[in-house]
Amino acid sequence: MFGQSRISRCAALVLLNSSSTLVVAQKPLLLPQITVTAARVMRSDFDTPRATTVIGQKEIQRANTSRTPDLLRYAQGVYIQNTNLGGGSPFIRGLTGKQVLILVDGVRLNNSFYRFGPHQYLNTIDPNLIKRIEVVRGPGSVLYGSDALGGVINIITKRRTDFSSSADLGGLIEGRYDSGVDGGSARAQVEGNRSDIGFIGGVTGKIFDDLEGGDGVGEQVPSGYDELDADLKLNWRADEHSEFIVAGQYTRQYDVPKTSEVTLGDLLKFNYEPQERELAYGEYRGQDFGPFDQIRLNVSYNRQKEGEEIIDGELPLIETRELTGVETKGATAQFTNLIGESHRFTYGVDYYRDDYDTGKIEIDRTTGVETAVQPGTPDDAYYTSIGAYVQDELALTDRADLIAGVRYSRFETEGELGAENLSLETDKVTGSLNALYSLTPSLNLVGGVAQGFRAPNMEDFFGRVDFFSEIPNTELKPEESINGEIGVNFFKGGTSADVYYYYSDYENLIDRVEVGTQADGTPIEQRQNIDEARIHGVEAGITQSFSRHDPGVDRR
């Protein structure tokens, strides 16, 4: 049978946690974590031939943090960089920013405006929403499309799973205080169900003063900001094979200072105001649906609004305010079929369209007069992506698995900014091949080769500058990579460990290149496709559980 021993482990773990009334009379059975991100279907991370990191619910609770980036601070294979308290950009295998794909419940958080280098968008997700976090280290372009060069981070949010009572209502009020910022967060949440309809929702408020450094460091000025979050998720279990989900999330951050620009540059002020995110989606999940063993359909709406308020030290009487809004409409469809006794096919399509609403003004701080100026990103521009993928999980023997995948992606964008006219159409076929061989019941040898791909986005073409002048380049080519990795996974009892060596070869990487200087000596730079680059390294981790393993997994 297809992957029989591995599926048995998954099934046992589901049964252990599917009902709150289950009684385990003997010693608790310790089983691996489950991941759905690495293969888009449920597999244990031990039996997945990809480098994965899973942060479960107990780990999230123990972290006791008001900021989502802090949940990944000690995650294997992830480094979090902070240039401001309101930021927190994950690095995976040497890459960050738009080269790492962030998902929320499988829906893309990344849009075509994400900036070059570290950014703050992960921090727009309230940690109080999160059930678990799954990280796939290495390219995820075959299953998830553009941006997944360094890896994929999937933020999986909470939903009602206990339907043992015909009607139930509960809630919580909790707060956190952090002396380092003389502030913290407060959360009010309600959860329950009425028959087969469940709900969970809440409101979170956050207040952070300027961060107080250690002995001799002093106060980090400016760094404090405020935040308001709201969320609601409804799920209806129509029958034992079907579930409908409707969810909404809202985040509004106020006056978030970019500390590095003020302390390291010549700026008197640099605030992200507003920093706003809205996400709404509807999803159907079904099993044994017509000819499909599994089906998952999703439609989504994601709006991210980012404002910048800047006062330059050389022009202290002028304040520049720029606002960029991006509305993203998305639709995905995924299907899974078991073919014979040895194949499981997962295939699907996805579509996303970004529409831009931008503007920029200069305000005379003495008179209050506002003057419209050209924004850095075209108004009324659009950016679309469409993709189709197929993956075959093949059980070669009782001890060997092979996972092969291929994807076709196509991108189109148009925009006009001054004399620059952007019109791009590009496509790409990417593939991956990963294998697993069970050396012993507790030790697996894993490895594979995968292609990565990232189409240049709107921010690449027109640039977002900090300390210098940048000119547009509408002729950029996509970034491409090929990644090879090999490693071993170990799991026995409460001990899990893995070691990986990876080697990545990149072509057409996009970077800033100095193309001239202004009269005052300020560099003039432009994004260009540079020569090849190579990154290689070793990742290793070990976890020891001293009590019943926390699955922390929402398995349906």
Residues constituting the chain: 556
pLDDT (tens digit per residue) in 425-434: 999 999 999 9
Could you tell me the CA-to-CA distances from 475 to 215, 468, 539 in Å, in that order?
50, 21, 36
Please state the three-class secondary structure of 388-409 as a single string: EEEEEEEECCCCEEEEEEEEEE
In this predicted structure, what is the pLDDT of residue 145? Answer: 95
In this predicted structure, what is the pLDDT of residue 333? Answer: 98
The residues of the chain scoring below 70 in pLDDT are 1-31, 464-468, 547-556
Contact at 8 Å (CB) between 318 and 336? Answer: no
Beta bridge partners of 91: 79
In this predicted structure, what is the pLDDT of residue 34? Answer: 85
Reading the block at residue 211, the tokens are 């961060």
In this predicted structure, what is the pLDDT of residue 7? Answer: 47
pLDDT (tens digit per residue) in 439-486: 999 999 999 999 999 999 999 998 765 555 788 999 999 999 999 999
Q: Report the distance separating Cα 537 and Cα 338, nearest Å.
A: 36
3-state helix, strand and coil shares in percent for the chain, rounded to the nearest 5: 10, 60, 30
- Of 58, 115, 112, 50, the residue nearest 89 (C-alpha): 115
In this predicted structure, what is the pLDDT of residue 30? Answer: 61
In this predicted structure, what is the pLDDT of residue 552? Answer: 43
In this predicted structure, what is the pLDDT of residue 319? Answer: 96
In this predicted structure, what is the pLDDT of residue 12? Answer: 43
DSSP letter for 113, please: T
450's enclosing H/E stretch is: strand 443-454
Q: Which residues contact 389 (CB under 8 A, 6 or more apart)?
A: 142, 143, 347, 348, 349, 405, 406, 407, 408
Could you tell me the CA-to-CA distances from 178 to 215, 219, 457, 536 in Å, in that order?
17, 14, 38, 38
Are β-strands 533-544 and 495-507 bridged in parallel, bridged antiparallel, or unpaired? antiparallel
pLDDT (tens digit per residue) in 54-104: 999 989 999 989 999 999 988 999 999 988 999 999 999 999 999 999 999
Contact at 8 Å (CB) between 223 and 253? Answer: no
